[in-house]
Amino acid sequence: MTDLTRFTIAQARDHLRKKDFTALELTDAHITAMEKHRHLNAFITETADLARERAKASDFRIKNSDAKPLEGIPLGIKDLFCTQGVQTTAGSHILKGFTPNYESTVSQKLRDAGSVMLGKLNLDEFAMGSSNMTSHFGNVVNPWKARGHSDDLAPGGSSGGSAAAVSAHLAMGATGTDTGGSIRQPAAFCGIVGVKPTYGRCSRWGVVAFASSLDQAGPMTRTVRDAAIMLNVMTGYDPKDSTSAAMAMPDVEAVLGKGVKGMKIGLPKQYRPDGLDAEVGTLWDKGAQWLKEAGAEVIEIDLPHTKYALPTYYIVAPAEASSNLARYDGVRYGLRVAGNSLDEMYAKTRAAGFGPEVKRRILIGTYVLSAGYYDAYYLKAQKVRALIAQDFVQAFAKVDAILTPTAPTAAFGLNDKVVDPVAMYLNDVFTVPASLAGIPGSSIPAGLTAHGLPLGLQVLTKRWDEETLFRVCQVLEDSAKFPGLIGES
Amino acid sequence: MSLDKATVRRIAHLARIEVPDADLDPMVKELTGIMNWIEQLKEVNTDAVAPMTGGTDMTLAWRKDTVSDGAQPEKVLSNAPDKHDHFFSVPKVVE
């Protein structure tokens, strides 16, 4: 029998309905793959028993012709989404033992759509990182290797476990969250599709908060169609999130194949700095050529405030994080380290519970919000953020979509020690501007480096225009004919 | 922009994170590096710019101020590191 983990979500959906195999067989195949690939450290918590139980329920519904949109599809859930009765860690020691009594809206929607949760996926601690190396549960290993080398590579981050699991066929799809590139950059590093929808499309309720004005959930899959199928389910208004958009999500699966004929695509000149990696630049040119061949017009555009996006982000995101993470005080859940006073208990608990990157960001955030510095840093950053968002508004008056590289390099080695935090932050130079502007963005696997490592192209559109986003993504996918991870299953 | 040890100690106190003295020097260096890099925002003229305070331009929706959930103390307390009856327990606050 064909290895069931080879199918896409769309293919499996059709086979399940035709009863070519059962949901339980499909889930079992993925559980086997998950157990065989524990060395990737993609999962923090495996929920095989729960998965089998849900797969059996799916088979029952399929039998009764009551199949839901994702019926019987095995998915991984990033361990930032609260899952009822299943430990939720956010990759941090401070949430030790935390088992939510409730389900996040997004994971609930996926459950209601019939999908089967295989487990909770590893991530950078509180989603703060671009390498998955800040996780309290150890780094994830990228399933890809450079040709002729055995060195372990970083999967990117923060949704590194999600990207690795989908790339290695341990799950058919996974949820990710993206605050400054945490879906798109790991998708690029692991050669898969990642979509961050418009801010407000996916409810943030029940998702452990990092930076509330930036956090947005999205799908990570092996094909554009699969991402559309998942996103259709994950989005929608939720009264429990005050920033959830009260507008209907268009059916993005329905627009696939409509092409880009007559569209205008912008290439921002600021995304081609001196010293841009030659292979990344070449792939970007190739992507533009594909879109031209499909009937789009490609023009150069200007996003003048691009260089200020990263420093702006590193004020806004830590400021929001320092406030959001104030809740981890050892009182209501998670770790507690004893102290002689309440303050001492807080300080000892937080010292023991947070890792170095999280502490660094809390301290930066506390500093930029503190008396005397708020206007100089936080307010200033909010104003520059407005200019960055304005750049995109002006660009989208001229073009339908923007094409850029997703990340400045392919996956780096886990042993390439990055000692300077700022050097690590530069991984997100191409993804952060869209996060600040709240616009949708995706990464499409589009080519391989000379060493055989995946590179991604990023597509951006204006707010609420996921339809154009998916049309462009589909053309890029069709043109790139990206091979996916070839190797053991 | 250079942060000194006293400033980092003060921020750490505000953030309620205990920092051993031995960790202060490397922390001062890292945070100073990040803040220096952030300084470049001063180049941008933002005189007539309104701050962007959220991820979207939507206005928050109104809703009725009513109780929609609650009365489940066992669930609320189920993850508590220490509890008594229907209360979270903490070290003594008032002498």
DSSP string, A31-54: HHHHHHTGGG--EEEE-HHHHHHH
Q: Tell whether B83 is covered by a domain.
A: no
Are A348 and A466 in contact by the 8 Å Cβ rule? The answer is no
| Euclidean distance between CA atoms A79 and A207, whole angstroms | 9
User: Is A487's pLDDT higher than 70?
Assistant: no
Q: Is A381 within 8 Å of B14 when comparing Cβ atoms? A: no
The nearest alpha carbon in chain A to B32 belongs to: A364
Distance, CA of A308 to CA of A380 (rounded, Å): 11
CB–CB contact B91 A345 (8 Å): yes
User: Is A89 touching B (CB cutoff 8 A)?
Assistant: no
Predicted confidence band of residue B1 (pLDDT cuts 50, 70, 90) = low
Task: Tell me which residues of chain A, numbers 230 to 249, contact chain B at a CB-CB cutoff of 8 Å.
Answer: 239, 242-243, 245-246
Domain annotation covers residue B57: no
What does the pLDDT read at residue A420?
81
Q: In whole angstroms, give the CA distance from residue A328 to residue A353.
A: 9
Q: Are A6 and A222 in contact (CB under 8 A)?
A: no
pLDDT of residue A149: 93
Digit-coded pLDDT (tens) for B68-79 = 889 999 999 999
First to last CA, chain A: 14
CA distance A204 to A236: 11
Check residue A489 and give its pLDDT.
37
Structure-block tokens of residue A239? 């009264």
% of chain A exceeding 70 in pLDDT: 99
Are residues A167 and A388 in contact, defined by beta-carbon separation less than 8 angstroms?
A: no
CA dist A74 → A227, A268, B15, B22 (Å): 14, 38, 40, 48
Q: How far apart are CA A444 and CA A32, in angstroms?
A: 28
pLDDT at A2 over 70: no
CA separation for the pair B66, B35 (Å, rounded): 44
Q: Which of A243, A338, A381 has its CB closest to that of B56?
A: A243
Residue A104 has pLDDT above 70, yes or no: yes
- For residue A304, the chain B residue with the least C-alpha distance is B44
Torsion of the alpha carbons at A177, A131, A281 and A179, rounded to the nearest 10 = 30
Please, which residues 30-59 of chain B have a Cβ atom closer than 8 Å to chain A? 30-31, 33-35, 37-38, 40-42, 44, 46, 49-58
Q: Report yes or no: A373 at the B interface, CB cutoff 8 Å.
A: no
Is the Cβ–Cβ distance between A329 and A349 less than 8 Å?
yes
pLDDT score for A109: 98
pLDDT value of residue A485: 85
Mean pLDDT estimate for chain B: 92
Q: What is the DSSP letter of A28?
A: H
pLDDT of B28 above 90:
yes
Count of CA atoms in the C-beta half-sphere (13 A) of A156: 39
What six digits make up the tokens of B75?
A: 């669930």
Residue A286: helix, strand or coil by DSSP?
A: helix
- At A416 the pLDDT is 82
Cβ burial, residue A434 (10 Å; 0-12/13-18/19+): buried
Residue B11, in any domain of the structure = yes
Q: Answer whether residue A385 shows pLDDT above 60.
A: yes
How close A177 gets to chain B, by Cα (Å)?
15
Structural domain contains residue B25: yes
The rounded distance, in Å, linking the Cα atoms of A466 and A69 is: 19
Q: What are the start-end ranges of the E strands in A133-244?
A: 173-178, 193-196, 216-221
3-class DSSP assignment, residue A475 = helix
DSSP A374: I
The rounded mean pLDDT for chain A is 96
Report how far residue A435's alpha carbon sits from residue A77's, in angstroms, rounded to the nearest whole number.
21
Using CA atoms, how far apart are residues A471 and A259, in angstroms rounded to an integer? 6
Reported ipTM: the value is: 0.96
On the question of a cis peptide bond just before residue A158, with omega within 30 degrees of 0, the verdict is yes
Residue B18 is assigned to a structural domain of this protein: yes
- Which structural domain range is residue B23 located in? 5-43
Structure tokens, A244: 């959830």
Q: Which tens digit of pLDDT belongs to each residue from A417-432?
A: 677 888 888 889 999 9
Report how far apart, in Å, the C-alpha atoms of A432 and of each of A29, A160, A178, A180, A438 are: 37, 17, 10, 5, 10
Q: CB neighbours of A166 closer than 8 A, spacing ≥ 6?
A: A76, A172, A173, A174, A190, A192, A220, A221, A222
- Neighbouring C-alpha atoms within 13 Å toward the C-beta of B20: 4
Rounded distance between C-alpha atoms, residue A267 and residue A434, angstroms: 14
Q: A75 - beta bridge partners?
A: A117, A173
Cα dihedral A131/A136/A138/A143 (nearest 10):
-50
Token pair recorded at residue B19: 């920092």
Give which of A158, A255, A234, A303 is closest to A473, Cα–Cα: A255
Output DSSP code: residue B42: G
**Predicted pLDDT of residue A488:** 41
Residues A281-290 have a mean pLDDT of: 98
Q: Locate tokens 């606050």: which residue?
A: B93
Retrieve residue B49's tokens: 């710019």
Q: Smallest Cβ distance to A381: which of B33, B41, B93?
A: B41
Output the DSSP codes for A85-109.
TB---TT-GGGTT---SS--HHHHH
Please report the pLDDT score of residue A27 as a whole number.
98
Q: What are phi and psi of A413, to 5 degrees?
A: -75, 150
- Alpha-carbon distance of A203 to A149, in angstroms, equals 42
In a domain, B55, yes or no: no
Q: Tell me the pLDDT band of B50, cut-offs 50, 70 and 90.
A: very high
Answer whether B91 sits within 8 Å of A99, measured CB to CB: no
Return the bridge partners of B88, or none. B83
Q: What length does chain B have?
A: 95
The total of structural domains in chain B comes to: 1
pLDDT digit string, tens, across residues A222-235: 999 999 999 999 99
Task: Answer whether residue B72 is part of any domain.
Answer: no
Spatial contact of A176 and A167, defined as CB atoms under 8 Å apart = no
A380: which chain B residues are within 8 Å (Cβ-Cβ)? 41-42, 44, 46
Answer yes or no: is B35 within a domain.
yes
Angle at B10 between CA B5 and CA B16, to 5 degrees: 125
How do residues A7-53 score in pLDDT, each as one tens digit?
Answer: 999 999 999 999 999 999 999 999 999 999 999 999 999 999 999 99
